[in-house]
Amino acid sequence: MQGIFGYRTTQCWGLYLLCVLMVVAAGCQKKDEVIGGVDIPIPANMTKNSDKVFDPVPGMEDGQVSFQGTVTPKEIFTFYQEVMAARGWQPTARFAEHKNSIGYTKGSKLVLVRYNEIGDGTTVLTVMVGSQDPPK
C-alpha cells in the first residue's frame, strides 16, 4: 500500500515539473531570420511586420525587416549583446549616433539593430543588413 506521497505521486510531480521547464525554455528561445543573406537571431516573441515601411539607412540596402512584440528595449539590447558575440559578430560604433541601436560587423557584412518602444509594452525591432568594404 502506498501512502499519500507514494511513488506514483512523485512520478506525476516529476513529469509536471519537466513539462513546466520545457514550456519556460521554449519561451526563452530565439529564432533565426535570413535578412540580406545573413542568419540573424530574433527574440522568439517578436512577430514579423511584413507591411512595415521605414526609411532605410544608407549602406544598409542588402536587407531590412521589422518585427514587433512585447520585449523591452533593455531585453533586446541584452539579447543581441549575448547572441551576436556568440556567433562571432563584433560590435561597432559606426551607428553610435542613432539612439536605441546597436551595430555589428563580421567580415564584409554590417548589421544594424534598432528598437523603439511604442507604448502598451510593445517594442518595434528593425534589423538592417548591409555590406562594407573589406578591411585592408
Position 26: which residue type? A
Instruction: Tell which residue, 133, 105, 125, 116, has the closest CA to residue 33.
Output: 125
CA gap 125, 116 in Å, rounded: 7
Output the pTM of the full model. Answer: 0.73
Domains recognised in the chain with CATH numbers: 30-131 (3.30.310.80)
CA gap 72, 62 in Å, rounded: 27
Q: pLDDT tens across 5-63, in order?
A: 555 666 655 555 444 444 334 444 578 999 999 999 999 999 999 876 767 778 888 99
